[in-house]
Structures are given as C-alpha cells and as structure tokens.
C-alpha cells in the first residue's frame, strides 16, 4: 500500500490522491533516499515513484508538466550524491519493462542487444558473455544501470558506451517516445548531449539503448570478464560504501587518483567521509557520513589539488537536491 509519513511540501491532497491512484503501491511519499544510493546518504524525496512501463512514464511526465513539478530520474544511485535536504520533486525509478534485455539479429547477420534503461549494466555484460556476443567487455565491473551508463558515457581505458551503442531510446519532456541514433548524439568523456529541449528539473529521459555486438566465444569472453573483475578488485576499494571514481581524470597528465595521492590526501577524513587509503579517487562512507561531510571533503580535495598541482578537479558524480 502507499506510504505517507506526513504531508509532502508542495503536494496538495488532490495531487497525492492522483499519484496514489495512478501508481498504487509503487507510490512512496517522503521516502528517504539514502537507501537508494551506493554512498548511503541523502534526504527524502517529496515522492518516489516506481514506474514500470512507457504509459506510466508518459503519464507522470505530462502530469508534472501540467503542475509545474520538477522530476528526477534515479537509477541505481552508484554515481550520485543526494544532499541531506533531499529532493523536492518527483523522483522516478524505472522498473518492469525498463529492465528487459533481448538479443536481435538484423538482415546482415549482425546481432544487437536491446536493453532497458533500468537494467543493471552487470546483467547486460553477463547476457552478452553467455550468448557469445563480444563488444561490451569494457563495461565489466562498472556498477549502475544501462541508463546511467548511457548518460555518463561510462567506460574504462578499453572503451566506452559510445563505442558500442547504435541507438538510444528516449522520452522527451512532453512524454513522446522516440529514438536517436548514436550519430545524432554528441559523446565525450563521461558525458553525452542531444538536441532535445530541456530545462531545470525537466529533461528528456533515457529509456533504453541498442548495442551492436560481434560473434565471440563464450568461454573466452568469460575468461576476459574474470580478468577485468580481478583487476578492478586488486586496484579499487571493495566492501565499502562509495560512488566509485569521484572525480573526472584531467585531459592529460596524471590521473585524478594520482593527483590526490601526491597531495597526501589518502586517508583524509571529515566525519564519516574518508578518502580511501586504497585509491585516492574514491571517497568512502565509513559508516555514518552525511552528504554534507562528503561534499566538504570533496571541496577540501579540490582545493588541495589546485594548490599543489594547479589543476581544478571536476566531480564525476552527480550532485542533486537541497
């Protein structure tokens, strides 16, 4: 049943009634978001909706437009900081059909994989390996959803989403479902941009993607995936709450992790937020960190690296809320 812990600021009783009727048990008012982020921080959402199909997504986008409510798409929360004040808007999680993964052969014999934005990237990689489809090994071990990977143009030194994706499914701010080819999108390091209209609090939503693959040997692909995972485990923290790589690497020279390490910041802590002793570009929650503490540590790191190296680090994580 729908949960309601007090009146959500900005929502009228009529609004709450419509949301509860339209999305039923998938409507959560004043829902804490710390349990939906890998860092384990974040205040409440005015309302959290779990949306299972295109019709539901279209309805909520159009409804928020009529009432001038902002909305925010929440994936797995692996590259995200929600501030302690939470999000005063409609937070959407893609479930149901948005988590599907299917292989399709075209007329030339090539096989592509259609994946919903809500599907886990790890599941997509596993699907490709089991079906002997090569081309996505670069993404092995990267956390988060397919949608988040597309938005961030996620990748490693061996490749990125832009190298493999053919088409992006997207819903515009009026609720229209459409597709864009990879060539209609501008891809760059950890970002992608398109020409669809957007405004603060209202942007087009990625609903899925189609990835081109090539034939491969499942056993060889699995061995390669295992090597990727072992390498990541050997060089990155594990068993701790984090958002993965926190800062983007500069265009040239030392990586963000190396710059932070040389600034002597490994192990530096503010409250429960700490620079990982294992990897300088990881901020971890040692137990009871707040978003404010993590952001304060972020600012300290940026200032120290700027003072020592003259380089201004840019966060890779997305920071939202109040």
pLDDT digits over 143-190, tens only?
Answer: 899 999 999 999 888 899 999 999 999 999 999 999 999 999 999 988
* pLDDT tens-digit series, residues 22-57: 999 999 999 999 999 999 999 999 999 999 999 999
pLDDT band at residue 234 using 50, 70 and 90 as cut-offs: confident
Q: Could you report the per-residue pLDDT of 182-226, keeping only the tens digit for each?
A: 999 999 988 999 989 888 889 999 999 999 999 999 999 999 899
List of domains in the chain: 13-94 (3.30.43.10), 99-235 (3.30.465.10), 241-320 (3.90.78.10)
Work out the pLDDT band at 253, boundaries 50, 70, 90: very high
* Three-state secondary structure readout of 78-134: CCEEECCCCEEEEEEEECHHHHCEEEEECCCCCEEEEEECCCEHHHHHHHHHHCCEE
DSSP 3-state assignment of 49? strand
44-51 and 27-32 strand pairing: antiparallel
pLDDT in tens, 276-296: 999 999 999 999 999 999 999
Q: Which of 10, 123, 22, 110 is nearest to 69 (CA)?
A: 10
* pLDDT confidence of residue 229: 84
Q: Whole-number mean pLDDT of the chain?
A: 92
**Residues noted as catalytic:** 190, 245, 316
pLDDT at 107: 72
Whole-angstrom distance, CA of residue 64 vs CA of residue 80: 23
* 64 closest CA partner among 170, 171, 209: 171
Query: What percent of the chain has a predicted confidence (pLDDT) above 90?
Result: 83
- Indicate the pLDDT class of residue 1, thresholds 50, 70 and 90: very low
2 pLDDT higher than 70: no
Residues 6+ apart with CB under 8 A from 320: 72, 80, 81, 82, 83, 87
Q: What confidence tens digit (pLDDT) does each residue in 79-135 have? A: 999 999 999 999 999 999 999 999 998 777 789 999 999 999 999 999 999 999 999
Average pLDDT for 239-261: 94
């Amino acid at each position: 049943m729908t949960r309601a812990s007090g009146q959500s600021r900005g929502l009228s009783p009529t609004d709450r009634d419509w949301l509860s009727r339209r999305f039923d048990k998938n409507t959560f008012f004043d829902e804490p978001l710390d349990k939906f982020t890998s860092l384990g921080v974040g205040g409440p959402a005015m309302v959290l909706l779990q949306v299972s199909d295109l019709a539901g997504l279209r309805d909520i986008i159009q409804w928020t437009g009529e009432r001038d409510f902002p909305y925010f798409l929440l994936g797995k929360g692996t590259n995200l900081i929600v501030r302690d004040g939470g999000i005063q808007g409609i937070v959407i999680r893609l479930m149901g059909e948005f988590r599907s993964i299917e292989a399709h052969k075209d007329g030339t014999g090539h096989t592509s994989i259609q994946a919903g934005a809500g599907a886990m990237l790890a599941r997509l990689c596993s699907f490709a390996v089991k079906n002997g489809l090569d081309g996505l090994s670069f993404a092995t071990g990267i956390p988060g959803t397919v949608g988040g990977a597309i938005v961030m143009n996620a990748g490693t030194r061996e490749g990125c989403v832009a190298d493999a994706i053919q088409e992006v499914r997207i819903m515009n701010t009026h609720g229209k479902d459409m597709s864009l080819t990879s060539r209609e999108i501008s891809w760059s390091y950890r970002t992608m941009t398109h020409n669809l209209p957007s405004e603060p609090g209202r942007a087009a939503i990625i609903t899925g993607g189609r990835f081109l693959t090539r034939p491969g040997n499942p056993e060889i692909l699995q061995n390669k995936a295992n090597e990727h995972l072992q390498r990541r485990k050997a060089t990155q923290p594990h068993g701790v709450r984090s958002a993965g790589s926190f800062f983007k690497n500069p265009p040239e020279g030392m990586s963000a992790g190396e710059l932070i390490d040389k600034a002597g910041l490994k192990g530096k802590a503010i409250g429960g937020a700490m620079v990982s002793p294992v990897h300088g570009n990881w901020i971890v929650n040692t137990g009871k960190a707040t978003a404010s503490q993590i952001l304060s540590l972020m600012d300290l790191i940026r200032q120290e690296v700027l003072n020592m190296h003259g380089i201004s680090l840019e966060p890779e994580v997305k920071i939202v809320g109040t």
